[in-house]
Each structure stands twice: as C-alpha cells, then as structure tokens.
Amino acid sequence: MKYIIRILFSIIAMLFLFVVNGQDRYTVKQGDPNGINKWYMGRQIAHVMSHYGIDWLERPERQYEENTALLLKNLDLKPGMNFADIGAGSGYYSNLISKQIGNGKVFAVDVEPEMITYLNDRIIKEKLSNIVTVLGSETSVSLPALSMDMMLLVDVYHEFSFPYEMGLSMFKSLKPNGKLVLVEFRSEDKSVPIKTIHKMSEAQAVKELQMAGFRLEKNIDNLPWQHCMVFVKKGQL
C-alpha cells in the first residue's frame, strides 16, 4: 500500500512540474500596445491580423514591396509536393503555389473561420482544385504526422499565441527531410517600414525554433524587406 502511495505522489509531482514548466515558458506583462501582454523567450507576441486585413494581404504593390515572385523562386517548388501554407490568410501564396506544384496539394491553414470561408469561396471562384483548407488552432496546425514536404510561414509566426506548441506541431507534421520556410520582416533593418513588433531577427527565430527541434539550414538574403529562413529537423543533412 505504501508503495502505491509513493507512486501516486511521484506521478502528482511530475504532473505539477509539467504544468509549472508550461506556465513558466511564457511571461505575462505589458509592452507594445500592438502586441498581446504575453512574451516568449524575450519577445512580445503580436496581435493576430484578422480577416479585416485581407485588402492589405492582396494589395497590388505587394509584389514590388516584398518581391513575392523571388520568394517563390527561393522555395524551389517541385511537382507533386504536399505543401502547407501556415497562416494562409486570404490565400495569396496558396494560390500562386498551387499553380506550380502540378498534381501536388497545398494545405492552406488558418485559425480564423472567416479566413477559411474566404479561401473556400476563392477556391470555387478561381477553380483552384489542388488547395485544401484546414482550420487550425492556437496550438496546432491540424495536419497529419509526417505528411508535409514543405511549410511556408509568411509574416505569421510572430503572431502565434503559443509559438512553442505550434513549433512542435509543425515539426511533427513535416516529413523527415521536410523544410520549414520562415519569412519575417527583418528587425535588424531599421529602414523596413513595418512596426517593430511585426518584425523578427534571425537570432530570435533560430533561438525559438531550436526549442521545437529545428535548425537553421540557410537564410536566403535576397528579399527587399524580409528574412527567408529555411529550417530543417535537427540531425538532417
């Protein structure tokens, strides 16, 4: 009986430590009003862009400002890929990528039901037969394990309310040789005309994604305003 009681106390202690560690992962304090009062590894998390920002995502000058065509070249897309557009929003990139991967599929993931509704309407109107919409959550991309060849996150990671949990979820969904491409406005460059809280440095991105099991393979430094960081699973050659 005493042995069973000791085991129960051990289990309770482990669960307590797990909960405490999870709570300690994030800090709650005030900061930039454009962010939420939640911090991860020294970085304040930004407010999520809602469906009210669709016009900005689809602005005509985006190609010039961000050189979206060059970003697509950086991805080195292949026919037949399973491609995840995480934080797909209006489907700006999902649309472009779907036309370059032949019989592959784009899984357009977003947490906002309104964005998913917009995407579904777009798929019908533009006859985009190889895009699948996925309603994710704040802690999961809601994709099958080991199913994706590549994931793209364009100016969205810094808005994740639970970046650590989302990192783990993305790690699990990538194939062993899959790649995660993180595109974020460069905080190292003061001339980039974007609010500070909506920027990230390479060092901060590496620090955070390492916690989820990723390592930086390369940073393709050819975009006007953004980093184009390619991450792979640790141990991948």
In the chain, the number of structural domains is 1
Angle made by CA atoms 227, 116, 75, in degrees to the nearest 5: 30
* Residue 21 forms part of a structural domain: no
Angle made by CA atoms 92, 168, 135, in degrees to the nearest 5: 40
Query: 88: closest CA among 148, 167, 168, 153?
Result: 153
* Residue 111 forms part of a structural domain: yes
* Residue 13 forms part of a structural domain: no
Tens-digit pLDDT profile for residues 112-137: 999 999 999 999 999 999 999 999 99
* Residue 226 forms part of a structural domain: yes
* Residue 135 forms part of a structural domain: yes
* Residue 224 forms part of a structural domain: yes
Q: Which residue has the higher pLDDT, 207 or 49?
A: 207
Tens-digit pLDDT profile for residues 35-79: 999 999 999 999 988 777 788 788 889 988 999 999 999 999 999
Say if residue 15 is exposed, middle or buried (CB neighbours under 10 Å; 0-12, 13-18, 19+): exposed
DSSP-derived letter for residue 209 is: H
* Residue 130 forms part of a structural domain: yes
Residue partners of 36: CB distance under 8 A and separation at least 6: 44, 45, 46, 47, 161
CATH number (domain holding residue 61): 3.40.50.150
pLDDT value at position 210? 98
Residue partners of 195: CB distance under 8 A and separation at least 6: 32, 34
**Domain of 60, in residue numbers:** 47-233
Q: What integer best gives the mean pLDDT of the chain?
A: 90
Mean pLDDT on 189-210: 97
* Residue 33 forms part of a structural domain: no
pLDDT band at 21 (very low <50, low <70, confident <90, very high): very low
pLDDT band at 6 (very low <50, low <70, confident <90, very high): very low
Distance CA 184, CA 152 (A): 11
Distance CA 85, CA 48 (A): 16
**Chain centre to alpha carbon of residue 173:** 12
pLDDT value at position 22? 53
Q: Inform me whether the pLDDT recorded for 189 exceeds 90.
A: yes
Query: 135: closest CA among 83, 87, 82?
Result: 87
Q: What element of type H or E holds 125?
A: helix 113-126
Q: Inform me whether the pLDDT recorded for 12 exceeds 70.
A: no
DSSP-derived letter for residue 182 is: E
